[in-house]
């Protein structure tokens, strides 16, 4: 997707310096308040939805959960204390005094410490969803992998919800724009957001089916945005990213993709810089061996491209069920070794024996590997699974990453420690079965690594990513 220079400037991509200056104060104020926001998508069921909180600090911390109506009115609040390294799950039905059907509006979490993790989860018999919080606001937000397909088969029908939250004290004007893969604007929808209010819209309201592309959200003041790609059998949720954000790194590491058999993976890349960029993308299997060929991708200023990973790397795969499945990691680098102004995301899809879409998960590629990570929850259930993908980005011979996965109980006790060795450019996937419910994870490594958490139903019909949080040393 290539935007014209005028369009790129309109979307805030070229006006980086002014954008960053304008966002600094709002970002600073939000950080000082130690608060994060969550949306409530349409058809969210109260009984199965709740907030997971982890206090990663060295002292007890106080948390306040506030529920707000779409018009910005506070409907409930709940305050609790979480001990040091402790975890708590608060069902939203506890806040409302019992089950009462579906929800709407937004959820705000405030904490007395900045060292905490939070996640909003919804679970059912056939599907699960996990919503990443937003702590950085922006007046220009990008969302990748939006889909609309009003097919004839009930199970193939797909739509995308976009949830918007205005944390400010003044109303905001917002324009939601759908942009096709060829860079054309397919539709726009103006929206008014009340102070502290929220709205949920479907892309099918203003875009004709079929649609496969991206969504740009522009507002008169900083806001937060998420999207949920939904089919009758799956939900894929991803938080929006600041369209003027950039990765201060010459390399990006994609910790997990899977192709072959009944799986496919795609990668989307957006160049948010004011000039063209050339990228090299290479793949490695779990042992660090090269997969396929190194691909060269050139992106103009403001351009987005989406590629099937197997085709991009010219990998030989067999689309059959059952069939050989290949997992691995990707490295995205600039040959000139200059900083990347890049947004990157990955979509992983699973298909049934008739190759109808069965599950889908989305995640943003984080810019910096780390030695210390936290995954905010791990399930213990006969219905659900929790898994980790860990990639070692080092190219140095002999630079094996020695990794410890530490499982914590709800009260902060360590209940299990798992050790893994990951070779240079290698990766590892790990299924977890926590000894106790209410667990969370910390991953410690001798060298910087990239980490992705996932959870889903054991029948494979639903899978979601759990974004990890880099911890201070």
237 and 228 Cβ atoms separated by less than 8 Å: yes
3-state secondary structure of 445: strand
- CA 253 to CA 68: how far, in whole Å? 37
- CA 117 to CA 56: how far, in whole Å? 7
| Between 292 and 248, the higher pLDDT residue | 292
Pairing of strands 211-230, 235-239: antiparallel
* DSSP for residue 11: T
207-237 exposure pattern, b = at least 16 Cβ within 10 A, e = fewer: beeebebbbbbbbbbbbbbbbbbbbebbbbb
Q: What is the pLDDT of residues 304-315, one digit of tens each?
A: 899 999 999 999
Over 90: is that where the pLDDT of 357 sits?
Answer: no
| Between 227 and 324, the higher pLDDT residue | 227
Question: CB neighbours (10 Å) of residue 102?
Answer: 12
Which of 77-81, 233-237, 416-420 is predicted with the least confidence, judged by mean pLDDT?
233-237
Share of residues in the chain with pLDDT > 90 (%): 46
Residue 247: its pLDDT value, please?
57
Over 50: is that where the pLDDT of 7 sits?
Answer: no
234 and 461 Cβ atoms separated by less than 8 Å: yes
Q: What value does the mean pLDDT take over residues 437-457?
A: 90
Residue 465: its pLDDT value, please?
84
Domains and CATH numbers, the chain: 5-32+134-242 (2.60.290.11), 35-131 (2.60.290.11), 248-344 (2.60.290.11), 369-473 (2.60.290.11)
Share of residues in the chain with pLDDT > 70 (%): 82
Q: What is the pLDDT of residues 394-443, one digit of tens each?
A: 999 889 999 999 999 988 899 999 999 999 999 999 988 888 877 899 99
pTM comes to 0.84
**Residue given tokens 């004290």 in the structure block:** 169
Q: What is the pLDDT of residues 186-221, one digit of tens each?
A: 999 999 999 999 999 999 999 998 998 899 999 999
Distance from chain centroid for Cα 228? 11
What would the DSSP string read from start to end of 211-276?
EEEEEEEEEEEEEEEEEEEE-SS-EEEEE-EETT--B-SSEEEEEEEEEBTTEEEEEEEEE-SSS-
- Residues sharing a CB contact under 8 Å with residue 371, sequence separation 6 or more, in sequence order: 444, 445, 446, 447, 448, 449, 473
* Residue closest to 177 by CA, chosen among 243, 114, 129, 257: 243
1-28 exposure pattern, b = at least 16 Cβ within 10 A, e = fewer: bbbeeebbebbbbbbbeebeebbeebbe
Residue 91: its pLDDT value, please?
86
Which of 123-132, 202-211, 337-346, 429-438 is predicted with the least confidence, judged by mean pLDDT?
123-132
* DSSP for residue 288: S
- CA 29 to CA 118: how far, in whole Å? 19
- CA 96 to CA 293: how far, in whole Å? 55
Residue 98: its pLDDT value, please?
57
| Between 230 and 176, the higher pLDDT residue | 176
Residue 2: its pLDDT value, please?
43
């Amino acid at each position: 997707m290539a935007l014209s220079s005028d369009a790129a400037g309109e979307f805030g991509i070229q006006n980086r310096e002014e954008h960053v200056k304008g966002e600094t104060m709002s970002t600073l104020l939000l950080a000082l308040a130690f608060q994060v926001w969550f949306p409530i998508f349409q058809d969210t069921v109260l009984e199965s939805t709740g907030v997971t909180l982890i206090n990663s600090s060295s002292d007890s911390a106080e948390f306040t959960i506030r529920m707000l109506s779409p018009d910005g009115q506070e409907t409930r609040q709940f305050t609790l204390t979480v001990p040091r390294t402790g975890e708590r799950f608060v069902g939203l039905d506890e806040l409302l005094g019992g089950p009462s059907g579906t929800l709407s509006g937004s959820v705000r979490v405030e904490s007395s410490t900045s060292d905490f993790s939070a996640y909003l989860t919804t679970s059912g018999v056939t599907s699960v969803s996990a919503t990443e919080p937003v702590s950085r606001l922006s007046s220009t937000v990008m969302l990748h992998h939006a889909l609309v397909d009003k097919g004839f088969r009930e199970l193939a029908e797909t739509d995308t919800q976009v949830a918007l939250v205005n944390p400010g004290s003044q109303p905001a004007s917002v324009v939601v724009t759908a942009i096709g893969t060829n860079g054309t604007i397919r539709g726009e929808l103006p929206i008014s957001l009340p102070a502290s209010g929220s709205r949920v819209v479907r892309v099918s309201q203003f875009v004709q089916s079929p649609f496969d592309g991206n969504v740009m959200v522009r507002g008169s003041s900083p806001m937060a945005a998420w999207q949920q790609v939904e089919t009758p059998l799956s939900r894929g949720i991803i938080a929006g990213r600041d369209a003027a954000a950039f990765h201060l790194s010459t390399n990006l590491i994609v910790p997990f993709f899977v192709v072959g058999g009944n799986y496919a993976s795609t990668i989307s890349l957006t160049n948010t810089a004011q000039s063209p960029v050339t990228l090299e993308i290479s793949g490695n299997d779990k042992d660090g061996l090269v997969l396929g060929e190194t691909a060269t991708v050139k992106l103009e200023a403001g351009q987005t491209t989406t590629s099937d990973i197997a085709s991009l790397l010219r990998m030989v795969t067999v689309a059959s069920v059952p069939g050989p499945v290949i997992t691995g990691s990707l490295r995205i680098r600039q040959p000139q070794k200059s900083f990347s102004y890049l947004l990157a995301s990955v979509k992983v899809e699973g298909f049934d024996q008739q190759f109808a879409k069965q599950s889908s998960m989305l995640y943003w590629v984080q810019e910096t590997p780390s030695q210390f990570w936290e995954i905010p929850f791990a399930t213990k259930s006969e219905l659900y699974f929790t898994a980790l993908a860990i990639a070692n980005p080092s190219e140095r011979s002999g630079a094996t990453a020695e990794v410890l996965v530490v499982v914590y109980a709800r009260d902060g006790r360590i209940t299990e420690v798992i050790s893994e060795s990951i070779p240079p450019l290698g990766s590892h996937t790990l299924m977890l079965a926590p000894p106790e419910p209410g667990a969370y994870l910390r991953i410690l490594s001798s060298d910087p690594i990239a980490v992705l958490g996932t959870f889903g139903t054991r029948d494979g019909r639903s899978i979601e990513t759990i974004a990890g949080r880099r911890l201070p040393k």
